[in-house]
C-alpha cells in the first residue's frame, strides 16, 4: 500500500515560555480543520529557542535552515527567554530565518474581531480592518554599521539603512497585487507609508518605485502618508486604511500600534512570507513568550490560532483558513470575556476547544 503524500508539510517551532502552549492550541485547531475539510498534513517539531541555546550554546544548529526550507511553512510559537540577553534570539533565530529564507513580506492584518475591546473610543470591527505589508529583509535591519572609538568620549556609531530597487519593488508589487485581490468593497486603496520629506534618498527610491508599479494597477488608488501622520490617522480614522505598504523599521513600529488598536498581543498575528514558488513562509502570534505565565494555562491562544488561519490561507488552503478565522471571530464575539491573559473566562486549552467547536457552527 502506498502512503498518501501529505498535502501540508509543516515545521513547528513551539519555542520558549508560553510559545508551546499557544502552539498546541493552534495544532489542535489544525487537526480539526484538516479532518473537517479532508486534507492531510505532517508536523515536524524543532526545539529551537532560548532553552536549547542555554543548553547547547547553539541557536540554529548547522543544517537547520536547510531542513526548515524543505517544509511548506513554519509555525513559530514564540522565542524569548529571561536568561538570554535581549537581541540574541531575535537576531540569531527570527531575523536569521527571515533573511535566510528570504521572507520578504511581513504581513500584519489589523482586524478588530467582534467582542474584542479596542482602546479607540467609538470604533468597532467595521472601522478597524486593514492590513500592513511590511518589507522584511532590508532597511535598518541589515546590520550594516559599526563603532569608532568605542567606549571613549569620542565614540561614533553608525547604523545604515539599505534599500534596493529589487527589494522595495517586489514588496510594493506584492502589496498592489494583494490590495487588488482583497477587493475591499469600500474601494481598493494602497497607502505607501514612508518619510519622503526627510529620508530624501532611501524613501525617494521607495516613492519612485511605488509610482512606477502603481501604473500597472489603475484599479487601485495609490495613496501616500508620512509615517508620523499615519500614526495619527491610525488612531483617529483607522477606517481610512485598506492596505498599507511600508519599510521594515516603520512597519515594525506601526504594527505594534496596530496590534494595540485590534485588542492587543493576545490577538495579533503575522506572517513572514516568501511568496515566490517553493518559498517557505513562517507564521507567528505577535505576543512574546510571556515567561511569567508559562504553564498556568492562562495565556490567550487566539493570536496563535489566527496565525494558523493565515498559514492555511497562504499555503494553498484559503477556504480552510477563512473557516478558522470565522471560528475565531465567533469565539471572541460570543464566548470570551476578555483577551487578556487570565481574564478570558476560559483556560488556554478551553479557548482552543471553543474555536474547534465553532468550526462547525
Which residues are near ligand IPM by CB under 6 A?
Answer: 90, 94-95, 252
Which residue number, 94 or 234, has a Cβ lying nearer to ligand IPM?
94
The helices-and-strands tally (H runs, E runs) of the chain is: 12, 12
> Least distance in Å: CB of 250 to Mn ion?
11
Instruction: Provide, rounded to whole angstroms, the least separation between the CB of residue 226 and ligand IPM.
Output: 21
Contact 53, 89 (CB under 8 A): yes
List strand residue ranges (DSSP E) for the chain, in order.
8-15, 41-46, 73-78, 105-111, 129-135, 139-148, 156-162, 189-194, 221-226, 243-246, 269-273, 281-285
- 193 near 254, Cβ under 8 Å? yes
CB of 293 to Mn ion, least distance (A): 20
Percentage helix, strand, coil for the chain under 3-state DSSP, each rounded to 5: 40, 20, 40
The site for Mn ion (CB under 5 A) is made up of: 252
**What are 259's three cell numbers?**
496590534
* Spatial distance between the Cα atoms of 17 and 81, rounded to a whole number of angstroms: 7
Decide if 214 contacts 220 (C-beta within 8 A). Answer: yes
Based on CB atoms, which residue is closest to Mn ion, 25 or 284?
Answer: 284
CB of 90 to ligand IPM, least distance (A): 4
7 contacts: CB under 8 Å, gap ≥ 6: 39, 40, 41, 316, 317
Residue 152 CB, nearest distance to ligand IPM (Å)? 29
Query: Which residue lies nearer to Mn ion by CB, 102 or 252?
Result: 252
Chain residue whose CB lies nearest ligand IPM: 90
In the list Mn ion, ligand IPM, none, the entry touching 94 (Cβ below 5 to 8 angstroms by class) is ligand IPM
- Cβ closest to ligand IPM, residue 94 vs residue 213: 94
How far from the centroid of its chain's Cα atoms is residue 241's Cα?
18
Mark 175-213 as b/e (b = at least 16 C-beta within 10 Å): bbbbbeeeebeeebbbbbbbbbeebeebbebbbebbeeb
Which partner in Mn ion, ligand IPM, none is near 221 (CB below 5 to 8 A by kind)?
none
90 vs 212 by CB, closer to ligand IPM: 90
The distance of closest approach from Cβ of residue 306 to Mn ion in the complex, given in angstroms and rounded to an integer, is 16
Residue among 252 and 326 whose Cβ is closer to ligand IPM = 252
Task: From the list ligand IPM, Mn ion, none, pick the one residue 90 interacts with, judged by a Cβ distance below 5 to 8 Å according to partner type.
Answer: ligand IPM
269 binds, among Mn ion, ligand IPM, none (CB under 5 to 8 A by kind): none
Amino acid at each position: 500500500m502506498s502512503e498518501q503524500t501529505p498535502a501540508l508539510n509543516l515545521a513547528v517551532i513551539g519555542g520558549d515560555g508560553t510559545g508551546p502552549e499557544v502552539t498546541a492550541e493552534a495544532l489542535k485547531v489544525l487537526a480539526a480543520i484538516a479532518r473537517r475539510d479532508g486534507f492531510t498534513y505532517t508536523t515536524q517539531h524543532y526545539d529551537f529557542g532560548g532553552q536549547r541555546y542555554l543548553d547547547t550554546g547553539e541557536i540554529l544548529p548547522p543544517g537547520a535552515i536547510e531542513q526548515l526550507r524543505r517544509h511548506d511553512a513554519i509555525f513559530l510559537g514564540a522565542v524569548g527567554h529571561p536568561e538570554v540577553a535581549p537581541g540574541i534570539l531575535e537576531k540569531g533565530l527570527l531575523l536569521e530565518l527571515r533573511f535566510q529564507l528570504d521572507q520578504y513580506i511581513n504581513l500584519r492584518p489589523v482586524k478588530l474581531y467582534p467582542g474584542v475591546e479596542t482602546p479607540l473610543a467609538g470604533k468597532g470591527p467595521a472601522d478597524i480592518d486593514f492590513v500592513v505589508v511590511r518589507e522584511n529583509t532590508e532597511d535598518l535591519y541589515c546590520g550594516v554599521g559599526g563603532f569608532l572609538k568605542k567606549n571613549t568620549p569620542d565614540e561614533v556609531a553608525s547604523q545604515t539603512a539599505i534599500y534596493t530597487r529589487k527589494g522595495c519593488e517586489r514588496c510594493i508589487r506584492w502589496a498592489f497585487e494583494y490590495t487588488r485581490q482583497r477587493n475591499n468593497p469600500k474601494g481598493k486603496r494602497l497607502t505607501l507609508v514612508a518619510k519622503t520629506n526627510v529620508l530624501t534618498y532611501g524613501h525617494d527610491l521607495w516613492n519612485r518605485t511605488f509610482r512606477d508599479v502603481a501604473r500597472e494597477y489603475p484599479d487601485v488608488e495609490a495613496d501616500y502618508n508620512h509615517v508620523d501622520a499615519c500614526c495619527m490617522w491610525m488612531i483617529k480614522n483607522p477606517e481610512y486604511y485598506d492596505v498599507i505598504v511600508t519599510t521594515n523599521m516603520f512597519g515594525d513600529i506601526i504594527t505594534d500600534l496596530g496590534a494595540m488598536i485590534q485588542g492587543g498581543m493576545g490577538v495579533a498575528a503575522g506572517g513572514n512570507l516568501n511568496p515566490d514558488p517553493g518559498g517557505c513562509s513562517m507564521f507567528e502570534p505577535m505576543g512574546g513568550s510571556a515567561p511569567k505565565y508559562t504553564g498556568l494555562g492562562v495565556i490567550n491562544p487566539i493570536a496563535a490560532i489566527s496565525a494558523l488561519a493565515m498559514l492555511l490561507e497562504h499555503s494553498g488552503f484559503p477556504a480552510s483558513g477563512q473557516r478558522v478565522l470565522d471560528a475565531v471571530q465567533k469565539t471572541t464575539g460570543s464566548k470570551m470575556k476578555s483577551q487578556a491573559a487570565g481574564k478570558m473566562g476560559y483556560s488556554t486549552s478551553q479557548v482552543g476547544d471553543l474555536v474547534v467547536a465553532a468550526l462547525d457552527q
